[in-house]
Chains A and B, each alone.
Chain A
Amino acid sequence: DAGITQSPRHKVTETGTPVTLRCHQTENHRYMYWYRQDPGHGLRLIHYSYGVKDTDKGEVSDGYSVSRSKTEDFLLTLESATSSQTSVYFCAISILANEQFFGPGTRLTVL
């Protein structure tokens, strides 16, 4: 899994609660990404980072925020979880912007 871990791997939470997902890499890659994967929509980019403290929005960023205080960690926060955010979340890393390697995923259920 290209030296990428995600935690937690599974989470069930209630609507309105904040949730933070963690991506940790041991590869020292510059770029990190958060995606969500849903049936019928495929993989969609939520946010990405091109360096420590350097982040930007992807195509489905509403309701999500990110932080990257260290090269190895990229955090995704759902500020107030909604049922529409029930999904599988993948972190990815890359040296260059295009060749991305994915983590094992986090299955999130919002009740």
Chain B
Amino acid sequence: QKEVEQDPGPLSVPEGAIVSLNCTYSNSAFQYFMWYRQYSRKGPELLMYTYSSGNKEDGRFTAQVDKSSKYISLFIRDSQPSDSATYLCAMNSGGSNYKLTFGKGTLLTVNP
């Protein structure tokens, strides 16, 4: 079983739709959870950063962490064509552990 599983998509939605992106993981030691957005031929950009379980909202973006189910989600409300990108989840256990474990990314296209 891979440490982090992420559906690669591609996911195509109409403008204005609510998008749900998800990752599952197997390592119960993970405490820090991140979502990165990566536009084509660019570096990953940190979008959301959460610690432990719960929700975090930033504008149109909401990150959810359910540690009991080992499941994290990113919701995008009122999606825009500019949201078209690959979304990567990442996580680690914190402390002196420097390694981020990444999902392989979900390619999202928002159609005008």
Contacts and interface: CB of A to CB of B under 8 A. Distances in A.
A42 B103 contact: yes
Contacts, number: 54
- Give the interface size class of chain A: 20 to 34
Given A98-B100, A102-B46, 15 more contacts: A42-B88, A42-B103, A42-B105, A45-B100, A50-B98, A59-B99, A98-B34, A98-B92, A99-B49, A100-B100, A101-B46, A102-B43, A104-B42, A104-B43, A105-B43
A104 B34 CA distance: 19
Interface string B78-92: 000000000010101
B104 A48 contact: no
B35 to A, nearest CB: 12
B31 to A, nearest CB: 9
Best-buried of A42, A99, A101, A105 by chain B (most CB within 10 Å): A42
Nearest to A105: B43
Interface of A: 1, 31, 33, 40-43, 45, 48, 50, 56, 58-59, 90, 97-105
Given A41-B104, A42-B104, A104-B42, A48 B49 contact: no
Nearest to A40: B104
Nearest to B94: A98
A42 B89 CA distance: 11
Interface in B26-53: 32, 34, 36, 41-46, 49
